[in-house]
Amino acid sequence: MINLFDVFDKKAIVLYNSFKHADNQRTTIVIEENGFLPEGVLTPYQFFANNPTSTISPLFFNE
C-alpha cells in the first residue's frame, strides 16, 4: 500500500507519523512538495527527474 498526499500539511503529518509509530512501513508520495519533506518521502519530480536525494555533504569553494 502507499500513502498519497496532495500536500504535506498538518493533517498529513499526523497520519504519516501515526503509520510510522505503528511500524506500518508504507511508501509515501507527496504531489505538491514544499522542500521540507522527511527522509523517505517521495515526490513525482524526484521520480521523473531521476534526482535522488544525496547523503554526500557538499564541498566548500576552497576544498
User: pLDDT tens, 10-50?
Assistant: 999 999 999 989 987 788 999 998 888 888 888 888 778 87
Whether 59 has a pLDDT exceeding 90, the answer reads no
Confidence band (pLDDT; 50, 70, 90) for 55?
Answer: low
Indicate the DSSP class of residue 56: S
Q: How far apart are CA 39 and CA 29, in angstroms?
A: 12
Indicate the DSSP class of residue 6: E
pLDDT at residue number 11: 94
pLDDT at residue number 50: 75
- Angle, CA 54 vertex, CA 53 and CA 56 arms, to 5°: 165
pLDDT at residue number 29: 92
